[in-house]
Structure 1
Amino acid sequence: MPFAHDFFDAIVSLDSYHYYGTDFGYLEFHILRHLKRGGQIGIVSPAYPVEIPLPSPEHPGDDWHWMNSVDWWERHWNRYPEMDVEHCKALSNGWQSWVRWHELCLGHGRRDDWAESEIRQLREDEGRYLGFVRMVGRRTYEMTLIGTTSTPE
């Protein structure tokens, strides 16, 4: 991103972080460097509210292989010493918000086979395995970057 280091007081990501934020170094090398010391990052992304048991149940099925659990997200962010995870919980009734979003899109003329399929699956699941994670983290201390050093205000 073409932003200066220590530029943002807060960074927010809604329903997109799961596409790129699972990479081990993404948070450190592409997000935290732009966040001021003491600044917060907040995300809401699709996630399993609980760990999927092994062997995997028939539901939710292969369509959802890309998702991670709320606990996985907390472990993932806790590996960064530059940040404290302040909040990591499943969004209560997040699956209902997901259904409502699809219904609104369909109600405004957007036709997608996958949307109707997701609505069916989300309603069948009723939040057992399909939902959202809500996370907030705070950058806690200095980051030494290649050729630069972040300084407190």
Structure 2
Amino acid sequence: MIFTKSNKYDKDFLMKNMMGPNCIKILEELTSKIKLEKGMRILDLGCGKGISSIFLAKEFDATVFATDLWIEPTENYKRFKEFKLDDKIFPIQAEAHELPYAEGFFDAVISIDSYHYFGNKEGFLDNHISPLVKEGGILAMAMPGLKEDFVDCIPDELIPFWQDNMNFHSITWWNKLWSESESVIVEKCEALNCHDEAWKDWINCDNSYAINDKKMMEVENGKYFNTISLIARTK
């Protein structure tokens, strides 16, 4: 895949602010599958240091609510000001189960590299996310996942790296979870082509988490992981 939009962004800036596989490349591919329009209100859920929010505001002229639990809003606000986007992106600190937004407020909810941490339970989508979106609005998520779910146990080579909160699942698993929702209609659930590129960028960062993930990806060697996209519309 040729990353026409992603390649416009300063590499050093991206490498400094990544918190996982390159969210800009993932977002470029994900947004090529949906229609975002100028002036839309978008919830960027689990935005980290806000580089995905910057992409959405710049590339689609959208109004973005950059929401994250761990990164201080003031820190993100300074980044948005550097890009002269402080009138387009609003930094919010909130937990995904207690989002401070009105029902039907958003045209779209987008989440990159984070939804699997909090959205893997039955009822979460219907109770906490879809009510915030207008009828016919867009839900588009992308997250690390598995080519096939592990049936009996985690492969031996991955055990040293595995954590209980990783919540990596297959396309089949995520499609089933969302298809059981009473509030959305699933349009697509598939693997993204940017998987290798996005992970390559991440493990080449000097972030301490990236250094550990590099060891994991070396032993994984393309056998188990992929990057999954979920796209749906609210009923």
1:40/1:139 contact within 8 Å kept = yes
Give deviations 1:70-116, integer Å, cap 9, x for gaps. Answer: 2111111111022111111122351441231231x31xxx4x1x422
2:107 aligned partner, one-letter code: D
1:2 aligns with 2:100: yes
Determine the C-alpha separation between the residues in 1 that align with 2:222 and 2:172: 16
Give deviations 1:47-82, integer Å, cap 9, x for gaps. Answer: 112222435432332633532222111111111022
Give deviations 1:98-147, integer Å, cap 9, x for gaps. Answer: 231231x31xxx4x1x422211221332332122111101112xxxxxxx
RMSD across aligned positions (CA): 1.9
Q: Percent identity?
A: 29
1:69 aligns with 2:170: yes
Aligned to 1:45: 143
Q: When the two structures are superposed, what TM-score results if normalisation uses the length of structure 1? A: 0.77
Q: In structure 2, do the counterparts of structure 1 residues 50 and 28 end up closer, same or farther at CA, with 3 Å as the change threshold?
A: same
**After the TM superposition, which residues 131-146 of structure 1 pair with which residues of structure 2 at under 5 Å, given as runs?**
131-140=226-235
**DSSP-derived class of the 2:158 partner:** coil
Cα drift, residue 24 of structure 1: 1.7
1:17 aligned partner, one-letter code: Y
1:127 aligns with 2:222: yes
Determine the C-alpha separation between the residues in 2 that align with 1:127 and 1:38: 37
Q: When the two structures are superposed, what TM-score results if normalisation uses the length of structure 2? A: 0.52
Q: In structure 2, do the counterparts of structure 1 residues 34 and 16 end up closer, same or farther at CA, with 3 Å as the change threshold?
A: same
Q: In structure 2, do the counterparts of structure 1 residues 62 and 77 end up closer, same or farther at CA, with 3 Å as the change threshold?
A: farther
Q: In structure 2, do the counterparts of structure 1 residues 81 and 60 end up closer, same or farther at CA, with 3 Å as the change threshold?
A: same
Aligned to 2:212: 117
1:138 aligned partner, one-letter code: R
Q: Which has the larger radius of gyration?
A: 1
1:84 aligns with 2:185: yes
